[in-house]
């Protein structure tokens, strides 16, 4: 099975956990895209009553086109479950997210969700975080000074750019990626990054996920991370 087939496999597996009447958070990314397609099929075929909150404009648009009810986070009082992708997951079920620049909204939705599930192909499972560049969402105003500060801290930052300029998030902020190779102490790094003025949010998602579904050639593996 190639990577796309594994992503589709976990997307389809994840929607089996969705129950009628749920308030559901929808993540962002290429794996989630398959999940939302599968969810749309269930909504159409089984007439499920779901209320969904999306973590990006992209996901909101896809879901709405499939006839899934999408509301703003501020218009719901709770979320039962959020299903999202991840860029890396380590042996302790800590994660890096934000490869698609959506980690700010994703983290806000995640912390307001009773349960969180991540769906990944097996290439995302690592022993130690950090091979994947760690994304930060930063306020454009003064961002070159934030970049310099991060450089001085030895965190090897680069702005994430397109051919035409800065990658912009849905909140119209910039993204800085930290090229760390290995993150020995994720909690300490998270606390350091939380303390930098101008950094809105980082892509370390620590102690957050309850269930991980890993796509493997011999079938999806469901891992329980925490209650
Ligand atoms: O910002 C994007 C998100 O954190 C994604 O969930 C993450 O990058 C994984 O995306 P994909 O499923 O495309 O690898």
Mean pLDDT confidence for 39-53 = 97
Q: Where are the domains of the chain?
A: 3-126+206-217, 134-202
Q: What pLDDT shows up at residue 56?
A: 98
3-state helix, strand, coil in the chain (%, to 5): 35, 25, 40
Q: 201: Cβ below 6 Å to ligand 1?
A: no
Q: What pLDDT shows up at residue 31?
A: 98
ipTM of the complex: 0.99
Question: How far, CA to CA in Å, does 193 sit from each of 86, 203, 223?
Answer: 20, 10, 29
Query: What fold is seen in the domain 134-202?
Result: Alpha-Beta Plaits (3.30.70)
Give the tokens for residue 198: 């101008």
- Percent of the chain topping pLDDT 70: 100
Instruction: Assign 45 a pLDDT band (cuts: 50, 70, 90).
Output: very high
How far is the centre of ligand 1, averaged over its atoms, from the C-alpha of 47 (Å)? 28
For the question of residue 201 being annotated catalytic, the response is: no
The arrangement of secondary structure in 3-126+206-217, i.e. its CATH architecture, is 3-Layer(aba) Sandwich (3.40)
How far is the centre of ligand 1, averaged over its atoms, from the C-alpha of 87 (Å)? 6
Residue nearest to atom 6 of ligand 1 (CA): 85
Question: How far, CA to CA in Å, does 174 sit from each of 54, 101, 104, 159?
Answer: 20, 9, 11, 8
Question: Residues comprising the binding site for substrate?
Answer: 28-31, 84-87, 97-100, 124
Of the residues 8, 13, 88, 106, which is catalytic?
106
Per-residue pLDDT of 142-187, as tens digits, reads: 999 999 999 999 999 999 999 999 999 999 999 999 999 999 999 9
Q: What pLDDT shows up at residue 82?
A: 98
Mean pLDDT confidence for 90-104 = 98
Cβ atoms < 10 Å from Cβ of 125: 17
Q: What mean pLDDT is reported for the chain? A: 98
């Amino acid at each position: 099975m190639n990577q796309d087939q594994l992503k589709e496999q976990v997307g389809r597996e994840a929607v089996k956990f969705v129950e009628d009447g749920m308030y559901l958070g929808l993540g962002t990314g290429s794996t989630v895209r398959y999940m939302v397609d599968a969810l749309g099929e269930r909504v159409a075929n089984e007439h499920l009553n779901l209320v969904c909150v999306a973590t990006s404009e992209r996901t909101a648009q896809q879901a709405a086109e499939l006839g899934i009810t999408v509301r703003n986070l501020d218009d719901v009082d709770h979320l039962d479950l959020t299903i999202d992708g991840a860029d890396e997951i380590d042996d302790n079920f800590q994660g890096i997210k934000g490869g698609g620049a959506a980690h700010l909204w994703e983290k806000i939705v995640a912390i307001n969700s009773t349960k969180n599930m991540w769906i990944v192909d097996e290439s995302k499972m690592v022993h130690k975080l950090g091979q994947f560049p760690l994304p930060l969402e930063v306020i454009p105003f003064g961002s070159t000074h934030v970049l310099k500060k991060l450089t001085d801290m030895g965190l090897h930052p680069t702005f994430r750019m397109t051919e035409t300029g800065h990658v912009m998030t849905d909140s119209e902020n910039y993204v800085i990626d930290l090229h760390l190779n290995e993150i020995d102490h994720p909690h300490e790094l998270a606390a350091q990054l939380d303390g930098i003025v101008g950094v809105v949010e980082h892509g370390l998602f620590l102690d957050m996920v309850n269930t991980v579904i890993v796509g493997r050639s011999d079938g999806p593996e469901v891992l329980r991370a925490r209650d």
